[in-house]
Structure 1
Amino acid sequence: MKEAIAEFEKIQSISDSDYESHSILKRKEIVEYHLKNNKSYQEFVGKSDFNTEVSGWNELPIMTKKEFQKPLSERLSNGFTTKNVYLNKTSGSSGDPFIFAKDKFCHALTWANIINQFGWFGIDFNSSLQARFYGIPLDFIGNTKERIKDFLKNSYRFTIFDLSDKILEKVLLKFQNKKFDYINGYTSSIVLFAKFLQKKNIVLTSVCPSLKCCVVTSEMLFEEDKLLMEKQFGVPVVNEYGASELDLIAFQNPQGEWQVNSETLFVEILDDNNNVLPNGKEGRIVITSLYNKAHPFIRYDIGDIGILDEKSTFKKPILKKLIGRTNDVAILPSGKKSPGLTFYYVTKSIIEDDGNVKEFVVKQTKIDTFDIEYVSQNKLTENQILNIEKAIATYLESGLTFTFTRKEKLERSKSGKLKQFISLIK
């Protein structure tokens, strides 16, 4: 870690004017390393040498998760084995889970980056106490291992598989009795806690004054939810965007900008033909890990769609908008394609006005049929349903059919994440 933190600070000290040259050099080095030392990447590129200057970079092929659907041993670089690397598995939220590796220095750099960015909000990983809203294995061994990790990381984990008012009362009691410095976890779970506090007319810092910030991750954060959380928690809400196989990709800075990690990653926005798009244009997010020698992630299509801000520089890229995953797209009868979160956003703006609906998901079951599952105190009225259908017809297209199903609780993944839009159409 000492070596990684020193390297991270060295990268940060590079001037704006020299940063483009630095970025080109690091990309050149990592490509040449894997072409020389990684048989799998050699076969993928089709040659063992490549012109990686600016003109040649755009000719490098795009990696996707499908390239990693083979044994890890076949993907590791020379000199690396499963015994001398950091191993983990992706969540599989894109439908293509895989085991990946990082060399230990690269993994340490990931933590140097995390420590740096959380430090923007006064969080010290050696001393700050974390209130963690994450999933946890329910079997005894898995559960015990995670609890031990949490203890060592100065973290207290709240189980998120049951967030009824009865359970949230116990969560609130913990905040009254522990000096938490920050909240970290899945957006949907933390939003539910904020709504619980709103109902009780409690601002969290009034019972836990040590709280400094709340960092949400893994699920989409809507502006209304952010405002609600900031009001009920009494601290800034920070939006994090990351990928376990890479690093923190973007982290909201104190100025409210979604600052992209340029220290250990190189982020591009590409169109459907793999052409690099200018800043301000929407496209596929493609990322290169600049330091991972154990496993290549070079021009890796992570499966997300986003926009880089026009004011981005090589040293300080800004993520203007994260639109969603490429596989979270609804295909409509007219042939129109629309991000599934459009349905969620339009529906949300209508049915949450009175605070009745706690949370909901939208499922596309047929090309013209959508099922909205929701948890609420009272059933939706006919007028609310009519307003939702009118709004969706206005924003998308008419002729769509909706069914509304009230549930006691919504189905989450094994990790506890709530997928807000699901298409069952192949």
Structure 2
Amino acid sequence: MRLFDFSLKVNGFDIDKAKKVLAEIQAKSDLDFETYIEDQKKAIITYHLEHNSFYKTLGTSIDINDWDSVPIITKRHLQQPLEQRLSDGFTPKNVYINKTSGSSGDPFIFAKDKWCHALTWAEIMNRFGWYGIDFNTSKQARFYGIPLDKKSYYKERIKDYFSNRYRFSVFDLSDAAFEKALAKFKKSEFDFINGYTSSIVQFAKFLKQKDLVLSQICPNLKVCIVTSEMLFDDDKSLMETYFGVPVVNEYGASELDLIAFQNLKDEWQVNSETLYIEILDTNDNVLPYGEEGRIVITSFYNISHPLIRYDVGDVGALSKESTPIKPILKHLTGRTNDIVRLPSGKKAAGLTFYYITKSVIENDGNVSEFIIEQLALNHFKIKFVSRDELSPKKRTLITSEIERYLESGITVSFERFDKLKRTKSGKLKQFVSKL
């Protein structure tokens, strides 16, 4: 029995039809695909202007034939009761409802109609299929958070059972927890690993300490797919060495869909079938391929809740080799709110700061993970987990490197922890500005 497909159907998601429609979209020629995009853009705007009072208020100046007249939606627009944002005929009882993680600082509850959510699953299953993963038959080792209250905890465990996966909690990344995880891999035929980047990196570091290659212990293992947090090249190399399988980078947003997925040519291929991705500057102008800006996305099929020209809060660029049918995400720099502000007035992406410290801190393997907080324009705190305390020489080196890359006159303080605090979902927010 195809248990995963069956569980989707039981919950009202027509996955068979969704797979068929997705295949039809993917079969379009380049010219037909451009027409498809324009038709879907007009269709989703027209629908919400006619059937959604929330969107009518936002879109009073929309010219249906002028895409630039369509307003940008931010998370702040959506922080009001869900019932006020739903289209005619939809209620909380007949839609899929979830909540964003809040990693952007602006959490909100969102809805998808059931057809839209079925297409989301069809897209995900299609992309995972590139690596021989079938959700109905492939067993997943899942590194995610899990609710701690009993009702929600067992609800997730039941979902895991029907989804053919075993969940490793990311709230305990101790050696003792990883010993138990290793024992589970030895006796389970896992086909793939999926979960938050930072926690899976920690598991790879544990395997490095023991000089073990996971695929030799778990021969069924085909691929590791990481999501929700930045994947750095050195971490990817570490994981591929000690997992013994390819590491694939996924980029998505729960309120939208799978946004981009690393294909077999190592390109970060954007989902152009159910989403429309734009890169905008600070004045909402569309930037050409190759230039970096805000990532703004339109969901073609969510008729229950408008996500049209929705600013996801991330910064990135599309490759110059992109086409309408196959956009390629050149890079993802980070979140728009992850900005370092310096006394001179200079600004830098939070990940710039992170790259500097990562290369210095982790090169000897002592520090397992860390996060950076900006407490003032000239004051940063590095919170870290390590086997041994950082020496004064190492602290001085880190501070001098930060000054060299950013500017002089910066104060850096350090605080060691047994473990770092994660969000309620289990993610590790790597840079936090307290300004």
TM-score category (smaller protein) = over 0.9
TM-aligned CA deviation for residue 51 of structure 1: 3.1
Q: Map of 1:306-345 to 2, 5 A cutoff?
A: 306-345=316-355
Counterparts of 1:51 and 1:15 in 2: how far apart (Å)?
28
Query: C-alpha deviations, 1:148-193, integer Å up to 9, x for none?
Result: 0000100000111111111111100000000000000011100000
Alignment of 1:159 with 2:173, yes or no, is no
TM-aligned CA deviation for residue 10 of structure 1: 0.6
Query: C-alpha deviations, 1:199-228, integer Å up to 9, x for none?
Result: 100000010010000011111111000000
Give the letter aligned to residue 312 of structure 2. Answer: I
Partner of 1:408: 418
TM-aligned CA deviation for residue 92 of structure 1: 1.1
Counterparts of 2:308 and 2:230 in 1: how far apart (Å)?
26
Give the letter aligned to residue 300 of structure 2. Answer: L
Counterparts of 1:182 and 1:170 in 2: how far apart (Å)?
18
Counterparts of 1:167 and 1:6 in 2: how far apart (Å)?
42
Partner of 1:305: 315
Partner of 1:38: 52
Counterparts of 2:368 and 2:287 in 1: how far apart (Å)?
39
Return the match for 1:137 from 144, 147, 166.
147
TM-aligned CA deviation for residue 386 of structure 1: 2.0
Partner of 2:262: 252
Return the match for 2:99 from 89, 97, 113.
89
Counterparts of 2:16 and 2:106 in 1: how far apart (Å)?
35
Aligned structure 1 segments of 4 or more residues deviating by more than 6 angstroms: none
Partner SS for 1:28: helix
Return the match for 1:79 from 89, 98, 103.
89
Counterparts of 1:98 and 1:70 in 2: how far apart (Å)?
8
Partner of 1:66: 76
Counterparts of 1:19 and 1:258 in 2: how far apart (Å)?
20
TM-score, normalization by structure 1: 0.98
Partner of 2:370: 360
Partner of 2:238: 228
Report which stretch shifted further, 342-351 or 110-119.
342-351
Query: C-alpha deviations, 1:276-310, integer Å up to 9, x for none?
Result: 00010010000000011000000000100000000
Partner of 1:169: 179
Alignment of 1:383 with 2:393, yes or no, is yes
Partner of 2:274: 264
Partner of 1:27: 41
TM-aligned CA deviation for residue 382 of structure 1: 2.0
Give the letter aligned to residue 29 of structure 1. Answer: A
Q: Map of 1:100-249 to 2, 5 A cutoff?
A: 100-249=110-259
Counterparts of 2:57 and 2:263 in 1: how far apart (Å)?
40
Partner SS for 2:126: helix
TM-score, normalization by structure 2: 0.96
Counterparts of 2:140 and 2:321 in 1: how far apart (Å)?
34
TM-aligned CA deviation for residue 383 of structure 1: 2.1
TM-aligned CA deviation for residue 95 of structure 1: 1.4
Counterparts of 1:12 and 1:285 in 2: how far apart (Å)?
23
Partner SS for 1:227: helix
Q: Percent identity?
A: 61
Partner SS for 1:284: strand
Partner of 1:52: 64
Query: C-alpha deviations, 1:20-55, integer Å up to 9, x for none?
Result: 1211111011001111111110110115xx4333xx
Alignment of 1:294 with 2:304, yes or no, is yes
Partner of 2:408: 398
Alignment of 1:277 with 2:277, yes or no, is no
Alignment of 1:16 with 2:30, yes or no, is yes
- Asked if structure 1 preserves the Cα contact closer than 8 Å seen for 2:63 and 2:70, the reply is no
Partner SS for 1:58: helix
Counterparts of 2:93 and 2:227 in 1: how far apart (Å)?
30
Partner SS for 1:352: helix
Counterparts of 2:79 and 2:204 in 1: how far apart (Å)?
40
Report which stretch shifted further, 10-19 or 247-256.
10-19
Give the letter aligned to residue 12 of structure 1. Answer: Q
Partner of 2:3: none
Counterparts of 2:260 and 2:85 in 1: how far apart (Å)?
27
Q: Alignment length, in residue pairs?
A: 421
Give the letter aligned to residue 364 of structure 1. Answer: Q
TM-aligned CA deviation for residue 423 of structure 1: 0.6
Partner SS for 1:334: coil
Counterparts of 1:126 and 1:366 in 2: how far apart (Å)?
50
Give the letter aligned to residue 275 of structure 1. Answer: N
Return the match for 1:419 from 423, 426, 429.
429
Counterparts of 2:171 and 2:281 in 1: how far apart (Å)?
38
Give the letter aligned to residue 33 of structure 1. Answer: Y
- Asked if structure 1 preserves the Cα contact closer than 8 Å seen for 2:196 and 2:427, the reply is yes
Query: Where do 5+ consecutive residues of structure 2 fail to align?
Result: 1-14
Counterparts of 2:209 and 2:97 in 1: how far apart (Å)?
43
Report which stretch shifted further, 375-384 or 178-187.
375-384
TM-aligned CA deviation for residue 18 of structure 1: 2.2
